[in-house]
Homo-oligomer: A and B are copies of this chain.
Amino acid sequence: MELLVTYDVDSTTPEGERRLRQVAKISEGVGHRVQKSVFEDTCTPAHRPHLKARLQSTIDTELDSVRIYHLDRGTFQTARHLGAVVDIPHTGDWIV
């Protein structure tokens, strides 16, 4: 199952930065980053609710948002990419 995870996290506070790193870490755990706040994730149908629950419990639902698109297999390959390829190192220490 291909899941496109996109998010907006209010990172104007240290707490927001922590949430941002955590959302990225969760998303990266099942896929890879293609833009600053866009991840292409692949997981089993059984794992999807778990991924959603982890993201839900990480964000501040008043300030942040996450969208999860369930795509047909092969959709990632059809994506058109214009411009710079993302090259974002891990920012700071990941919270384990």
Contacts and interface: CB of A to CB of B under 8 A. Distances in A.
A79 B67 contact: yes
B56 A68 contact: no
Residue among A37, A59, A63, A69 with the highest chain B CB neighbour number at 10 A: A69
Contacts of A24: none
Contacts of A6: 6, 35, 38
Nearest to A68: B80
Residue among A6, A7, A62 with the highest chain B CB neighbour number at 10 A: A6
Interface string A51-69: 0100110011111111111
A70 B52 CA distance: 23
A43 interface: no
